[in-house]
Chain A
Amino acid sequence: MNTTVENTGTEGKTWGGGNQPLKASYGKMMMWFFIVSDALTFSGFLAAYGFSRFKFIDSWPIADEVFTHVPFFHGNYPMIYVAFMTFILIMSSVTMVLAVDAGHHMKKKAVTWYMFLTVIGGLIFVGSQAWEWGTFIKGDFGAVQTKGGNILQFGEYVDVDGKQKFKRVAVSDFAKASSTERVQHERKNGLWFVSEGALPEFTVDEIYAGLESHGNVYVRNQIINEEGEKTVLSREEGLKQIKENGKLYVKGANLHVNEYGSPLFADFFFFITGFHGFHVFSGVVINIIIFFNVILGTYEKRRSYEMVEKVGLYWHFVDLVWVFVFTFFYLV
């Protein structure tokens, strides 16, 4: 006896089951819903970034002064490298969508090539991101952190086309490090269960002495003035600030200090671009798996390349998120 009910009398009716009101397969639909929830996670991060930025709206670091490096080139090129990264990611999105398109036409060879290019694009992007992190962590000019957690930076006025322009000066260019008796505590020369980070290159006193002897160097604080630039203090005021409030020499950025301004800026940078980079990385891994499946002919046997389409959705989503990260971290 047949125990399964095969006829319910509702076939063909809207709620009779078996039809696809959204005309999308289960897998594709679930990928879309995953994307929605992931988008909400990212927007949570970005909105929190916006919150912190609005909180310190008058002293937030200026991105153009932070991300100015391009690999293999010296000099000041804000935006160029991250624009390149954006382009790479959009480009790999294009190869992905071309792979999907070739999949619809069951062209195995084309799908293979496009998947390969997509993976390469993703790897270039992740590599660039790692380089960007490295540069940011290393820092370039160095600054002094005050007792209140503010950042004091240094620079001098130079003539550019007859106009006085403020140009940053590295602390190592005017301060001289003297040897001190203080030695970095390591596990091997002290308590084995206690460790400390590297000691700062300069003490605040050394920086003060250097600043005093270099009449051309000015101090600027974090406050953004009407021209949208950081406020440069007078010589006396700068010296006074360093002497009274200066606490620590910082170079580069980590989760505790940030030579470019508010530590929150660094925290969010690491968190958001890190989370995004993790997505790109996992996207690359998934793309590689799919790439090998294509080569092995798995989808040829299935007579459907829908799997490529599903990972394609994820890959485009990663690109989509980057568009927003790019805007809110580097442009706005």
Chain B
Amino acid sequence: MAHEHKLAIFQGLLKFKSNTQKIWGVLIFLTIITAIEVVLGIYKPEGLMTQVLGMKGLNWIFIILTIVKAYYITWDFMHMRDETKSLRRMVVWTAIFLICYLVFILLQEGGYVEGVYRNGFIKKDF
């Protein structure tokens, strides 16, 4: 187990010759993503500032890119790709389910409180 690594990333689109090579390849990929994030964060293109599903389009791009980064860190740096399916699911699905649940509840509640401030009779502009 320990010495065998799956060397293909992007669904087998890119195959590396050795594990070391794959590590550098993933580093390059992560660096590119971070660079994209930073450039978008500095220039904030007008076209991406429209509201998509209650949030700025740009923010969705950031979140998706973050999840992509998280995927490659977990799968290739932490070798999740090489673990058994059951260990992978035990760790990943548990965390994803609980985090989604928590985030949904808290953001929903936060939005509600904001609505109370905005539409209710609570004054905070002094």
On A, residues with C-beta under 8 Å from B are 21-24, 29, 32-33, 35-36, 39-40, 43-44, 47-48, 50-58, 64, 78-80, 83, 86-87, 90-91, 93-94, 96-98, 100-101, 104, 146-150, 228, 245, 306, 309, 312-313, 316-317, 319-320, 323-324, 326-327, 330-332
Q: Taking the complex as formed, is B95 at the interface, i.e. its CB lies under 8 A from any CB of chain A?
A: yes
**Which of chain A's residues have a CB closer than 8 A to the CB of B65?**
327
**Which of chain B's residues have a CB closer than 8 A to the CB of A23?**
1, 83-84, 87
**Which of chain A's residues have a CB closer than 8 A to the CB of B77?**
93-94, 96-97, 316, 319
Residues from 73 to 111 in B contacting A, C-beta threshold 8 Å: 73-74, 76-79, 83-84, 86-87, 90-91, 94-95, 98-99, 102-103, 106-107, 109-111
Do residues B3 and A87 form an inter-chain contact, with CB atoms below 8 A?
no
With contacts A35-B91, A57-B114, A79-B41 taken as known, whether A40 is within 8 angstroms of B107 at the C-beta atoms is no
**Which of chain B's residues have a CB closer than 8 A to the CB of A91?**
27
Do residues B126 and A146 form an inter-chain contact, with CB atoms below 8 A?
yes
List 10 A-B pairs, minimum CB-CB distance, nearest first: A54-B110, A51-B110, A148-B126, A51-B106, A327-B66, A22-B87, A83-B38, A47-B106, A43-B99, A331-B62
* A307 and B105 alpha carbons, distance in the complex (Å): 38
Residues from 17 to 50 in B contacting A, C-beta threshold 8 Å: 19-20, 23-24, 27, 30-31, 34-35, 37-38, 41-42, 49
6 interchain pairs, CB-CB under 8 A: A23-B1, A36-B94, A94-B23, A148-B123, A319-B73, A319-B77
**Which of chain A's residues have a CB closer than 8 A to the CB of B31?**
87, 90
Do residues B87 and A94 form an inter-chain contact, with CB atoms below 8 A?
no
Given contacts A93-B77, A323-B70, 11 further A-B contacts (CB under 8 A): A23-B87, A24-B1, A50-B103, A50-B106, A51-B107, A54-B110, A83-B37, A97-B77, A245-B126, A312-B78, A327-B62
With contacts A79-B42, A316-B77 taken as known, whether A24 is within 8 angstroms of B84 at the C-beta atoms is yes
Do residues B41 and A64 form an inter-chain contact, with CB atoms below 8 A?
yes
Do residues A331 and B37 form an inter-chain contact, with CB atoms below 8 A?
yes
With contacts A55-B117, A86-B34, A98-B20 taken as known, whether A104 is within 8 angstroms of B107 at the C-beta atoms is no
CB proximity of A304 to chain B, nearest CB, Å: 8
Do residues A148 and B125 form an inter-chain contact, with CB atoms below 8 A?
yes
Do residues A228 and B70 form an inter-chain contact, with CB atoms below 8 A?
no
**Which of chain B's residues have a CB closer than 8 A to the CB of A101?**
19-20, 23
With contacts A93-B73, A94-B23, A320-B73 taken as known, whether A36 is within 8 angstroms of B91 at the C-beta atoms is yes
Do residues A332 and B87 form an inter-chain contact, with CB atoms below 8 A?
no
Q: Taking the complex as formed, is B6 at the interface, i.e. its CB lies under 8 A from any CB of chain A?
A: no
| Residue in B87, B90, B109 with the greatest tally of chain A CB atoms within 10 Å | B87
With contacts A22-B84, A22-B86, A320-B70 taken as known, whether A44 is within 8 angstroms of B102 at the C-beta atoms is yes
Kindly report which residue of chain A lies nearest to residue B38, judged by CB atoms: A83
**Which of chain B's residues have a CB closer than 8 A to the CB of A146?**
126
**Which of chain A's residues have a CB closer than 8 A to the CB of B126?**
146-148, 150, 245
* A22 and B84 alpha carbons, distance in the complex (Å): 6
**Which of chain B's residues have a CB closer than 8 A to the CB of A100?**
79
Kindly report which residue of chain A lies nearest to residue B78, judged by CB atoms: A316
Name B110's contact: one of A53, A78, A97, A148 (CB within 8 Å): A53
